[in-house]
Structure 1
């Protein structure tokens, strides 16, 4: 029987084998009447747990170690794997966020921005939140901001502005505000439609959202290319409303935006119409220096434009502004000085500034260690001294010693402002005397050779004022400045030339100095001055020649210079004063007598002068 069975089995057909027993699992899976279990479905939770433990172990090993490219690559592989749980991804993102505060580590993170687009679209709140915060951190650093812009993530971030989770909205706002600090980033933010969501963001109950929204707008309004888009959004009413926000940082941001917008005349008007001036008084008393600073800067912008300056003056804010000149924060003081300088451009504004008692605080401002304070204080004084009615108050404040001391300041803008003030003061006889007594003439030679045209111009204007009256002219003559003034007749700046011409014309009225003007070579430069496009230059040149031709002792030099053709040409000038003074010069030249000797002419000059 055993043999038979062996023989039978040995005779099996080829390529056949006995039927293998069915496995328990396959038999059950084919014939199961109830719920079944997929081995793949069973494996996914196990994989998530395993990956989560692996990530925890990796984070533990990398603690207190700077983030490396190798570690970041591992993190990125986990973030891109569909079998890694959302909780695990959020954990990884939190660790990455800790690293972006460091510049070098931020560069490592910036090299792996590929998967963030999917993470921003995640259904898990914490994944979206940590991703937006990472992008905010990267955009904070100028060196890695470009990578965020290039990754073109602004559309996803703008979408998150409408998220139901406040943390996510705040993170997205923060990221977009930092991205907006770069021109290319600002363009991307605008193109992504961020401005369509701003009005809702302003009404957010979260201070952080309001703050970062205003910061984002500040970035967008910095450049004219994107500022127009913000202007078109007509957000002034909402921004002005934020000036009354409880959060000082929100107010800071709103002020910054309004300052940038006020650079545009039309928008400055909209800012005023939105009621900005009504809220400014409260801002001046804010305990936060930044709020006071931005409030004064915003007012400076509004006061700079003639269209809105009247509204600022009408708001009667000068007393509050003058009170802020004693603020502990130098930047606040500088902003206030700037505002007062702009207000002083208007006659009514100048009067209001003086009535508010600004001149009582000026001496301290002129000695401030902050150049901006000195600059805008001197600018303000220049504007106040321009008008005759306000000029007397400036002179009465006896500020000339402090002003003259600032002529040696290292800041050229400060020196120019002081020169301007002294030039205006010198138009008044008492002011001219005060300037001379303060020692202004000791510093003039350096000022006339300053590389800054404004300094040379206002110095020559100041000398013109000092030489107008005989009582102060002698001091200028004694300073022997004719060579320097004549040198300025060849200056590239027409205003400088005009001032020098004016001073020389006044000096030429004095018999003893007229000869010094001729000896300094004034007549050699006159021919070019006749053809100047600036009427003031032609006017004072002909006036100077009239003075030189008045005295017989210098008339011969004028005749020898053969200037009659040019003077005759001036008789057809469009400016009546030029024609009048040209006639005067020709009239004096026509009085020449060939038979009068030089010695005799000097004697007759003295008789004529008498």
Structure 2
């Protein structure tokens, strides 16, 4: 048997340096069933740097439904509840983000309902950190997808608080506040609380806000609110029809679509139809029939079908020679939904007693 040369022996048996020591602040994944429990333990570390690093890893893991369930079973929600109330700024930011990601998972929402996360989050609406408030509101928007969650949030006291925040919050936070407020209108008691706290008036005031997202969410929330008769009457009384007509020509198509949606709801009642013509709504609405966005055209057709029942409004449409031409063109649209509503609107405009 050939003996290895001294050179080969050196290559086989030479001493090697020890591997670099793992940084004490690194979060190293455990194997198997210990993966989630170990991560939850590290999330609760006293050392701020290690705790924050663990929370960042947790947020990455929460994109995996299996990890969400595993961490919930290991008690992560209780730890996150403590952190969003008592932690330092960075801990609160990452803990609130983890809750936001958990709320996007069905098992996460079920666990949050069982652990009364809505009650824990309520004081966090006034957190000093804008990032925390945005994360909390995002979490609650996802959480409130379920009826039980909405009932629970109404019982905690969210509706009145959200109306106040819609008026006073920073512009960057208002859209999420309005979106969450809209979710809570699905509960009858929540709707009544919002109306009692001037929710209609608040949304009406925000229709002229400088930020596109705020105007959009305000119009959508106002429209959803006005399915209730009392809200509709309040909106008409405070001049919402005129305000909505002015933003039918907004530079943002999302605002135009939301404004048309709100008008569609408000003009269901005769008083809403009567307010449409004095507000100068005929020409802005006709202009929307040629909008580039399908949703804007669709909502405009629905408004037209609603308000054309009023004789004076119908006469206003017919006074514009382009009205029937535009409607006829839309009835020939390859989009069957647009064509269907164009036919309805055209019939309403041409109706004679």
Judge same fold: TM > 0.5, yes or no. Answer: yes
Q: Structure 2 CA distance, aligned partners of 1:540 and 1:298?
A: 44
**Between Structure 1 and Structure 2, how many residues are aligned?**
335
CA shift, 1:387, in A, is: 4.3
Alignment of structure 1 residues 285-300 onto 2, 5 Å? 285-300=44-59
Contact 2:40–2:71 at 8 Å: present in 1 too? no
Q: Structure 1 CA distance, aligned partners of 2:108 and 2:256?
A: 32
Q: Deviations over 1:534-593 (max 9, x none)?
A: 332222111100110122242222322342222222223455443333222222223224
Which of 440, 462, 487 matches 2:221?
462
2:328 — aligned with what?
568
CA 1:462 to 1:347, structure 2 compared with 1: closer, same or farther past 3 Å? farther
Matched position secondary structure for 2:173: helix
CA shift, 1:394, in A, is: 2.6
2:304 — aligned with what?
545
CA 1:503 to 1:297, structure 2 compared with 1: closer, same or farther past 3 Å? same
Matched position secondary structure for 1:468: coil
CA shift, 1:481, in A, is: 1.6
Which of 580, 590, 603 matches 2:340?
580
CA 1:418 to 1:332, structure 2 compared with 1: closer, same or farther past 3 Å? same
Q: Structure 2 CA distance, aligned partners of 1:379 and 1:404?
A: 17
Q: Which has the higher contact order (CA 8 A, sep 6+)?
A: 2
CA shift, 1:463, in A, is: 0.7
Q: Deviations over 1:3-23 (max 9, x none)?
A: xxxxxxxxxxxxxxxxxxxxx
Q: Deviations over 1:254-283 (max 9, x none)?
A: 48xx9xxxxxxxxxxxx9999753422101
Alignment of structure 1 residues 299-378 onto 2, 5 Å? 299-303=58-62, 305=63, 308-309=64-65, 311-316=67-72, 317-378=76-137
Q: Structure 2 CA distance, aligned partners of 1:565 and 1:590?
A: 13
2:352 — aligned with what?
592
Contact 1:535–1:575 at 8 Å: present in 2 too? no
1:520 — aligned with what?
279
Matched position secondary structure for 1:449: coil
Contact 2:289–2:300 at 8 Å: present in 1 too? yes
1:172 — aligned with what?
none
CA shift, 1:328, in A, is: 3.4
Q: Structure 2 CA distance, aligned partners of 1:354 and 1:464?
A: 29
Q: Structure 1 CA distance, aligned partners of 2:51 and 2:206?
A: 37
1:16 — aligned with what?
none
Contact 2:143–2:149 at 8 Å: present in 1 too? yes
Contact 2:154–2:184 at 8 Å: present in 1 too? yes
Contact 1:272–1:311 at 8 Å: present in 2 too? no
Is 1:280 equivalent to 2:39 in the alignment?
Answer: yes
Is 1:506 equivalent to 2:274 in the alignment?
Answer: no
Q: Structure 1 CA distance, aligned partners of 2:51 and 2:182?
A: 33
Is 1:419 equivalent to 2:175 in the alignment?
Answer: no
CA RMSD of aligned residues (A): 3.0
Q: Structure 2 CA distance, aligned partners of 1:539 and 1:394?
A: 34
Contact 2:204–2:235 at 8 Å: present in 1 too? no
Q: Deviations over 1:223-251 (max 9, x none)?
A: xxxxxxxxxxxxxxxxxxxxxxxx3xx23
2:11 — aligned with what?
none
How high is the TM-score relative to the length of structure 1?
A: 0.50
Contact 2:36–2:70 at 8 Å: present in 1 too? no
Unaligned runs of 5+ in 2: 1-14
Contact 1:494–1:534 at 8 Å: present in 2 too? yes
CA 1:438 to 1:540, structure 2 compared with 1: closer, same or farther past 3 Å? same
1:476 — aligned with what?
235
Unaligned runs of 5+ in 1: 1-161, 167-199, 205-209, 212-246, 259-270, 594-610
Contact 1:406–1:414 at 8 Å: present in 2 too? no
Contact 1:505–1:540 at 8 Å: present in 2 too? yes
Alignment of structure 1 residues 195-344 onto 2, 5 Å? 200-201=19-20, 204=21, 210-211=22-23, 247=24, 250-251=25-26, 254=27, 277-303=36-62, 305=63, 308-309=64-65, 311-316=67-72, 317-344=76-103
Which of 197, 209, 227 matches 1:450?
209
Q: Structure 2 CA distance, aligned partners of 1:382 and 1:527?
A: 35
Q: Structure 2 CA distance, aligned partners of 1:466 and 1:333?
A: 33
2:12 — aligned with what?
none
Contact 1:429–1:469 at 8 Å: present in 2 too? no
Q: Structure 2 CA distance, aligned partners of 1:511 and 1:324?
A: 53
CA shift, 1:429, in A, is: 4.2
CA shift, 1:502, in A, is: 0.6
CA shift, 1:461, in A, is: 0.8
Larger Rg, first or second structure (1 or 2): 1
CA 1:561 to 1:380, structure 2 compared with 1: closer, same or farther past 3 Å? farther
2:200 — aligned with what?
441
